[in-house]
A and B are shown apart, each in its own frame.
Chain A
């Protein structure tokens, strides 16, 4: 792994195909600790597939996934999450029937030490753990400005707030790396700006490494330190926002061969 010095999360020549469709091909990627990196690309380029490979929803046909130097290829999603990689979903997947607080508490469940019987018989050890989890979850909601919503049914919240709850739920799993799949999807420009501030704030507050997929160029260019561009499952460019903006390959992927003055 010498070529990936300082890598926190690394994909090493990862490939995955669905039948004849090559979703991701020889995808190389590194994420250093503390970075905020964006993954962009046209629709169907394989962005979400990359996320699914990292979190274990899909197992790559070839290539390895490393996290903190450990090979996590083929791990079950729950194990990957416990190792420290949490995610949000493009088409939000909140537990609609549960309250916001319960949604966040679900992420704390894997940290629970008490047995089922201790929980069902309300042993003091379990009650203490449950109380601590609740305090922690409420603290988290409070820091994210969601405390007022704690007892609302998650499914009844407006769209923008559901997005925040989803991020809160991912954060409750105490991740080192946070994967955000199109956090600004469906938001208006004003909401997007607020979200940008929210993400930067979360990152500083929790000392996170963030990898995000986004369509909204303004958001990506505004907060990402490094951007990775993927098209047809192949990594076509990588660099700072400025470099990416001027990269002819990126311009042609997004706007076709002719248009060259995108900025």
Chain B
């Protein structure tokens, strides 16, 4: 078997095993655990989309929560049943065309796709004027954008129902949809990052002036990374909204961006597999660490429950990691079949060989 077909074969087996695993856990695990897993999968999508713009194209954006909010509201507006819409918008009526239709369950993937398109459109609109900026300036501009989205969400009552939010979005984001979108995101982004376009983005990250002098249109490729990133951020926002069945401006506040930033920096900027692992770990840890926010009795010492203590743990982790592993757990590397095979597989396989055009392997 050739190297390539072996990897395809392994990939198919891996996906089958993953599917069976999910099917089994869906059957036997309780609702709470499944929710954590679904949240983890959604975090994976959001983190990869953020890593594309920050780690691969090297543009420091602080706006993913804005794109997620766009996707979330789009999905809420499309999926909310009509009678629920009349019930939710009691302050001001919902604007046309959303007041005249709603998607049935069968169209849920389409609604998520439209959520992604909303995020992509938002990225296009924001990226056009701001991507001429570099470094800190871009970060400030995208931060401003995400704040604008939250302010709009609070005040455009006839679309977003303001701070009250939209309640009663059907919970169609089951484990299979979350998994399917996560797989699509991983495969699409990996392929894009390893393609000629991905190389162009990485060249811009490494040296903008040199990239431009090698015939790369800087603006076009930054915008491309931004729009693709916006699409998947929108998808993750849509899934998240459907998972927790409500959306309000506070759901996609700047804390979301901060969480994602922790995830991609911990996983390694530019490493997609790194983002997958840390995003999933982040979702699980967020639940496991709930105990630090409850009152703790340590013999003579009594610590009252402090909300937000979990973030302190993550921030501490980030500080420690920045001191000892400045480039994140994975650096820029990817967990690959080559590495897996060299560890566990046939002895004649050269695990450390670097494939042309691919990212470095372990």
Contact = CB atoms under 8 A, between A and B. Distances in A.
Interface in A119-145: 119-122, 126, 129-130, 133-134, 138
A78 B214 CA distance: 6
B250 to A, nearest CB: 34
Given A95-B206, A119-B191, A101 B356 contact: yes
Contacts of A151: 354, 356
Interface string B186-202: 00100110011101101
Contacts of A130: 195-196, 357
Contact of A119 (B197, B205, B207, B354): B197
Interface stretch (B38-46, B79-87, B215-223, B298-306): B215-223
Interface stretch (A16-24, A85-93, A191-199, A250-258): A85-93
Q: Which of B196, B206, B332, B357 has the most CB of A within 10 A?
A: B196
A162 interface: no
Interface in B224-240: 224, 228
Interface string A100-118: 0111011111101010100
Nearest to B211: A106
Given A106-B200, A109-B199, A119-B192, A82 B360 contact: no
A169 B199 CA distance: 14
Contacts of A102: 199, 202, 357
Given A119-B195, A120-B188, A57 B209 contact: yes
Interface residues of A, number: 45
B210 interface: yes
Which interface residue of B192, B200, B205, B356 has the most chain A CB atoms within 10 A? Answer: B356
Nearest to A122: B191
A77 interface: yes
A81 B197 contact: no
Contacts, number: 119
Nearest to A174: B215
Contacts of A109: 196-197, 199-200, 214-216
A174 to B, nearest CB: 9
A86 B214 CA distance: 7
B242 interface: no
Identify whether the interface residues of A are mostly helix, strand, loop, or mixed: helix
A116 B211 CA distance: 18
B199 A78 contact: no
A94 B197 contact: no
Contacts of B195: 119-120, 126, 130
A107 B192 CA distance: 17
Contact of A107 (B215, B224, B332, B354): B215
B96 to A, nearest CB: 32
B212 interface: yes
A116 B354 contact: no
B215 A95 contact: no
Nearest to A108: B196
A134 B194 CA distance: 13
Contacts of B357: 101-102, 105, 130, 134
A47 to B, nearest CB: 17
A97 B188 contact: no
Contacts of A69: none
Interface of A: 55, 57, 76-78, 81-82, 86-87, 89, 93-99, 101-103, 105-110, 112, 114, 116, 119-122, 126, 129-130, 133-134, 138, 150-151, 153, 169-170, 173
Interface of B: 188, 191-192, 195-197, 199-200, 202-203, 205-207, 209-218, 224, 228, 270, 332, 354, 356-357, 360
The 10 closest A-B CB pairs, nearest first, are A110-B215, A93-B210, A119-B195, A95-B206, A81-B215, A120-B192, A77-B212, A106-B203, A107-B214, A151-B354
28 contacts: A57-B209, A76-B217, A78-B216, A78-B218, A81-B215, A93-B209, A95-B203, A95-B206, A95-B207, A96-B207, A97-B206, A99-B356, A102-B199, A105-B199, A109-B199, A109-B200, A109-B216, A110-B214, A114-B196, A116-B197, A119-B192, A120-B191, A120-B192, A120-B195, A122-B191, A130-B196, A130-B357, A134-B357
